[in-house]
Structure 1
Amino acid sequence: MKTHTIIILSLVFVLGCKSNQNNAKMKTIEPIVIAKGNLHGAGSEGIDKQNIIIDNRADWENLISKMDKVNKVSEQFTETKIDFSSYTVIAVFNDVKGSGGHRITLDILANSERTLVVTKFHSPSGNATSVMTQPYYIAKISKTERPIIFQ
């Protein structure tokens, strides 16, 4: 029994070290922010909380159409014409919130095996406006063959 315990602990230690080495090889990717903010349609846009990877014009135009359903938010985008042969768009939407002050930030990391998108949802501290909002964050990154994983 004692031998089994030592073997199991040794395996956990070795596997844990290997995982840290892979994480150390991750490098930060600076995305090009297209838009970030809040939708104000109280959910009328029909966009659920989700992470979206867009790699073609049709899906991109469909997203813009949904986002513009209540207010023309795409007029505030830094760009709407994306070269999908060079870039992939990442869009993150949170739930509809009962107050303002909510926001999303992204940290994007990559290694030779994957691209990792770490999503952080921020809530206001203290009083906020009583308007219904839905936070979103849209950015583009250089096209990659690596899988994009959200965390």
Structure 2
Amino acid sequence: MKNVLIILLSILVLSCSSDDSNSEMTNVVSTLIAKDNLYGNGVEGITEQNLIISNQTTWNDLITQMNSVNNVSDNFTETDIDFSEHTIIAVFDEIKGNGGHNLELNIMSNSENIIVNVTDLAPEGNATTVITQPFHIVKIQNSDLPIIFE
């Protein structure tokens, strides 16, 4: 009986992990700045990419580039960002041959990383034949944790 108790305790101790990579995931609060499409057929020169923007110059450059064909920033919820408090996450999809596509972001964190899960949602049924490039832009509180896109 004593040996069975020792074996059970050993199994219990060995099955517990102190690995931080298994730490609990929590939602990261984000504020939507824009979720839309570019309609310039790629003339804006923005490739499929994930951006982390932490300064006003880079943010202004992106807005200028996005506005090069259509003034899309008119629909942003805000353009004046306090970069001492916030970081911008901007995700651009590839150019699509039809409308109805959009991107969803799910932002979580653990003790080691901020993880941005990007989901490309395709249209169901008939879609317009306009050429689009979906994008999704949010701001989050500044953090020392690295940001990883999945």
Instruction: Bin the TM-score by the shorter chain.
Output: 0.7 to 0.9
TM-score by length of 2: 0.86
CA distance, structure 1, for counterparts of residue 113 and residue 96 of structure 2: 32
Counting only pairs closer than 5 Å after superposition, residues 1-151 of structure 1 correspond to structure 2 as 22-23=21-22, 25-151=24-150
What's the secondary structure of 2:104's corresponding residue?
strand
Q: 1:127 to 1:23 in 2, by over 3 A?
A: farther
Is the Cα–Cα contact under 8 Å of residues 23 and 111 in structure 2 kept in the other structure?
Answer: no
Moved over 2 A (4+): 21-24
CA distance, structure 2, for counterparts of residue 119 and residue 30 of structure 1: 16
Deviation of the 1:24 alpha carbon: 5.3
CA distance, structure 2, for counterparts of residue 18 and residue 55 of structure 1: 33
Gaps of at least 5 residues in structure 1 are: 1-13
What's the secondary structure of 2:62's corresponding residue?
helix
Deviation of the 1:22 alpha carbon: 4.0
CA distance, structure 1, for counterparts of residue 22 and residue 118 of structure 2: 17
TM-score by length of 1: 0.85
Amino acid at match of 2:126: N
CA distance, structure 2, for counterparts of residue 98 and residue 127 of structure 1: 13
Is the Cα–Cα contact under 8 Å of residues 104 and 118 in structure 2 kept in the other structure?
Answer: yes
In terms of Rg, which structure is larger? 2
CA distance, structure 2, for counterparts of residue 120 and residue 24 of structure 1: 23
What's the secondary structure of 1:65's corresponding residue?
helix
Gaps of at least 5 residues in structure 2 are: 1-14
**In angstroms, what is the RMSD of aligned CA positions?**
1.9
Amino acid at match of 2:34: A
Aligned pair count reads 137
